[in-house]
A and B are shown apart, each in its own frame.
Chain A
Amino acid sequence: MKNISKRFSVVLLLAAFLLLTSTLLAQKPKANAFKKVAKDTIALRLDSSKTKVRQFDGQAIERYKAEKEFQYGESDTQQLNWWERFWKNFWAWIDRLFGSDEAPKKSKSWPAFVKYGVIAIVVLGIIFVIFKLVGVDWKIFSKKSKEIEVPYDESLENIHEISFEDELLNATQSQNYRLAVRLLYLQTLKLLSDKELIDWEVNKTNAIYVKEFKQNGGNDVFANLTYQFEYVWYGDFPIDKSIFDMIQASFEQFKNQIK
């Protein structure tokens, strides 16, 4: 058994030897694989003919320059009026803004409607700035322009549009004291906003207003009024005339302090 395995290993080694050597032989290049280059230089012939120098025709150049079709660059700004110069510079600026290297040429490519569109936007912008500076109420342009004091239900949150006196009267007459307390609180917020003691924004919570009021030197009275409002409005606590009178008195007292 040992002899068989020995023979087998000898045969295996022999086979491996033959395989390896044949690979090496296969990689050996043939004798005529690379042909030698006989000659690697070529003699150059010298050009000895005379050179004729041609001159530009100055008149022709001037003639071409005068022709409009060959004026690729900017036109003479001296010939433009101020309005044309303004638009020329504007479009050149727009082109530079959008990274065009050919600013002067591009300026002619803007369509007229874009031009007039931009003019309209600029004009509207100027009007907007003027209106803002003057402090015009934008509501006058809406359909409800005649109705400056809109009804309570239609303007729940814009405290500057609620007619508090009328709405309070309506609420108390109909014994809706819960709504009346709410109106008292909103009226107080408006008052504080007018006096710049709070910065009114509809997305601010009452706690923020209490904080702002205190930061502006206010006392705890507003915090107490907020407490009353929250118990009545969010807490849905039952409220009768006697309690409402007490609440109203404390709101009135605070209003007088602020005024």
Chain B
Amino acid sequence: MEQEQEMFNQRTDLSELSQAVEQIRTQLGKIIVGQTATIDLLIAGLLANGHLLLEGVPGVAKTLSAKLVAKSISATFSRIQFTPDLMPSDVLGTAVFSPKTAEFQFRQGPIFGNIILVDEINRAPAKTQSALFEAMEERQVTVDGNTYKMEEPFMVLATQNPIEQEGTYRLPEAQLDRFLFKIEIQYPSLEEEIEILTQQHQTDTLHQLEDIKPVLNVAQITALRATIKALHVEAKLLAYAAQIVNETRQNKALYLGASPRASLAIVNSAKAIAAMAGRDFVTPDDIVKVATPVLAHRVMLSPEKEMEGLTTADIIAQIIKKIEVPR
């Protein structure tokens, strides 16, 4: 392998990025046992400038994972607990009358921050969830005819329980489409669970969180994102990504296919995965790796397939198997 590395000297300096990724992995690994794929997707989402939706049953460290990512970055952090009675103004902010100046002044809501943890996002009704639309896509908030720009980086890390759980609402498709990845956090394996118990039965997770130090600042993240944006993607691979997304629109097992935003999400996140692997170009493997987390939440199963017990991830896996890899 050394010979190969000498043969192909890197065109892009990815050493800083590799170092940062390794540091974040180490930080997260201090508390989260296993879940390497989840951690990699969290980092890829951060580098690809996307919002992330973490789904899992209660107790699998969804909120903890999101908090750890936030703590690894030296940036402003807000947490919003979504509840059924939460109003859009509780998220965005509201105009308050100031007797001093005899004018209404806009008081910013918790959405104004760099890293926003929206905990249990599907416990709030669609009205409140739709308050996030503009902020997530356009990175701005419009209230009373005034537009307020969000500070960069702006990243929403949302957690949700599976839709079958009590007291949850299905997220609107428009909002689901705004999340780069839906990361499904699974139960740990037996060995991992034993390790969790061994590591944590005598320590408090809250104290452990205090030990997490930021490894990246806002300027570094912005620079890394710019580096990733400039990575090389062959035209055939762009066509490959487009073909996968297009197939979701033709597939009879799916009631709703993915949007062009999904194609862009695949390419951008594949670039982040490539950079994390130390490459300055994308391979088909990078695209395949991100296809399911990018697409699974953006498409909808047909009722028949839903009744058969299939998931959107199953259909996407079938689609990928059907499409010829450019080689």
Contact present for A234 and B4 (CB under 8 Å): no
Q: How far is the CB of A206 from chain B (nearest CB, A)?
A: 7
B281 touches A236 (CB 8 A): yes
Q: How far is the CB of A29 from chain B (nearest CB, A)?
A: 57
Question: Quick check: is B138 within 8 A (CB to CB) of the other chain?
Answer: no
The stretch of A80-88, A144-152, A165-173, A224-232 that contacts the partner chain: A224-232
- CA distance in complex: A237, B234 (Å): 11
Q: Roughly how many angstroms separate A204 CA and B282 CA in the complex, as a whole number?
A: 16
- Also in contact, A206 and B4, with CB within 8 A (given A234-B234, A234-B237, A236-B232): no
Stretch at the interface among B57-65, B94-102, B110-118, B315-323: B315-323
Across-interface contacts of B11 in A (CB, < 8 A): 237
Q: Are A205 and B281 in contact (CB under 8 A)?
A: no
Q: Is the CB of A202 within 8 A of B325?
A: yes
Q: How many residues of B contact A (CB 8 A)?
A: 24
With both beta carbons as reference points, the residue of chain A lying nearest to B9 in the complex is identified as A237
Contact in complex: B4, A228 (CB < 8 Å): yes
Give chain B interface residues in 249-295, CB to chain A under 8 Å.
279-285, 288
Chain B residue, CB-CB nearest to A220: B1
CA separation between A202 and B237, bound complex, in Å?
Answer: 15
Q: Find out whether the CB atom of A205 lies under 8 angstroms from the CB atom of B325.
A: yes
* Central interface residue in A186, A227, A243, by most chain B CB within 10 Å: A227
User: Residue A205 contacts which of B4, B232, B280, B285 (CB distance < 8 angstroms)?
Assistant: B285
Query: Whole-angstrom distance between the alpha carbons of A185 and B283 in the complex?
Result: 15
The reply to whether B324 and A202 contact each other, CB–CB distance below 8 Å, is yes
Name the residue of chain B whose CB is nearest to the CB of A237: B8
| Also in contact, A157 and B324, with CB within 8 A (given A228-B7, A246-B7) | yes
**What's the Cα separation between A228 and B284 when bound, in Å?**
15
Q: Which of B234, B237, B284 contacts A206 (CB 8 A)?
A: B284
- Given the complex, which residues of A lie within 8 Å of B325, measured CB to CB? 202-206
User: Is the C-beta of B327 less than 8 angstroms from some C-beta in chain A?
Assistant: yes
CB distance from A83 to the nearest CB of B (A): 42
Q: In the bound complex, how far is the Cα of B287 from the Cα of A171, in angstroms?
A: 29
Q: Does residue A58 face the partner (Cβ distance < 8 Å to B)? A: no
**Size class of the A contact interface (CB-based, 8 Å):** 20 to 34
Which of A202, A220, A235 touches B281 (beta carbons < 8 Å)? A235
Which residues of A, 168-215, contact B by the 8 Å Cβ criterion? 182, 185-186, 202-207
Contact between A205 and B284, CB atoms less than 8 A apart:
yes
User: What are the interface flags for A229-250 relative to B under an 8 Å C-beta threshold, 1 for contact and 0 otherwise?
Assistant: 0110111110000010011001
Q: Which residues of B contact A220 (CB under 8 A)?
A: 1
Task: Tell me how far the C-beta of A42 lies from the nearest C-beta in chain B, rounded to whole angstroms.
Answer: 63
Q: Which residue of B lies closest to A236 (CB)?
A: B232
Within 8 Å by CB of A203, from B3, B234, B282, B321, lies B321
- Residues on the A chain within 8 Å of B8, using CB: 228, 231, 235, 237
Most chain A beta-carbon contacts within 10 A, residue among B4, B279, B281, B288? B4
- The answer to whether B7 touches A205 (Cβ under 8 A) is no
Q: Which residue of A lies closest to B279 (CB)?
A: A235
On whether the beta carbons of A236 and B234 are closer than 8 Å, the reply is yes
- Which residue from chain A places its CB closest to the CB of B8 in the assembled complex? A231
A62 to chain B, nearest CB (A): 58
Residues of B within 8 A of A186 (CB): 327
Once bound together, how far apart are the Cα atoms of A233 and B8, in whole Å? Answer: 12
Chain B: which residue is nearest A247 at the CB level? B7
Q: Which residues of B contact A250 (CB under 8 A)?
A: 3
Q: A9-41 interface mask toward B, CB cutoff 8 Å, 1 = contact, 0 = none?
A: 000000000000000000000000000000000
The reply to whether A227 and B288 contact each other, CB–CB distance below 8 Å, is no
List of A residues within 8 angstroms of B281 by Cβ? 230-231, 234-236
Which chain B residue shows the least CB distance to A246? B7
Among B232, B234, B325: residue with most chain A CB under 10 A = B325
Residues 1-26 of B at the A interface (beta carbon under 8 Å): 1, 3-4, 7-8, 11
Give Cα A185–Cα B281 distance, bound, in whole angstroms.
18
Chain A residue at minimal CB-CB distance from B287: A205
A235 to B9, CA, bound (A): 12
Most buried by B among A182, A186, A206: A206
Which of A185, A205, A206 is most buried by chain B, counting CB atoms within 10 A of its CB? Answer: A205
List 13 A-B residue pairs with CB atoms under 8 Å apart, sorted by A's residue number: A157-B327, A202-B325, A203-B320, A203-B323, A203-B325, A230-B279, A230-B281, A231-B4, A231-B8, A234-B234, A234-B281, A234-B282, A250-B3
User: 5 additional contacts, CB 8 Å, given A234-B234, A235-B281, A237-B11?
Assistant: A205-B285, A206-B325, A227-B1, A233-B327, A235-B232
